Amino acid sequence: MKIPKDKILHFVGCAIGVFVISRFMHMDYAVFGTLLFAIGVEIGDLKNYGWAIIKSKDKEKIKAYVVNTVSDLIADIFGIFLGALIIALI
């Protein structure tokens, strides 16, 4: 199975985000802030190209968009978890 570059960027970006933010704020705020940022990125994707896909009513494109969005959020959550775990172990 090939992991797309986009998922790796989501994973690494969230892990680094939690790591950096936790240096300036409490860990809870770092996790919550990074999660909000990840959701914001997906809302931005919805605004930029998601509505056009949904309005097209092409079931295959909609399915692919939803799968991509959910997998992005899963990669984000794993990245947040890894970043928090690394901070907890340091």
Q: Report pLDDT digits (tens) over 25-66.
A: 999 999 999 999 999 999 999 999 999 999 998 999 999 999
Query: Can you tell me the distance from the alpha carbon of 10 to that of 70, in angstroms, rounded to the nearest whole number?
Result: 12
* Band (4; pLDDT cuts 50, 70, 90): confident
DSSP assignment letter at 4: P
Q: How far apart are the first and last CA of the chain?
A: 32
DSSP-assigned states of every residue in 29-78: HHHHHHHHHHHHHHHHHIIIIIHHHHHHT-HHHHHHHHHHHHHHHHHHHH
Give the pLDDT of residue 2.
Answer: 72
* Band (1; pLDDT cuts 50, 70, 90): low
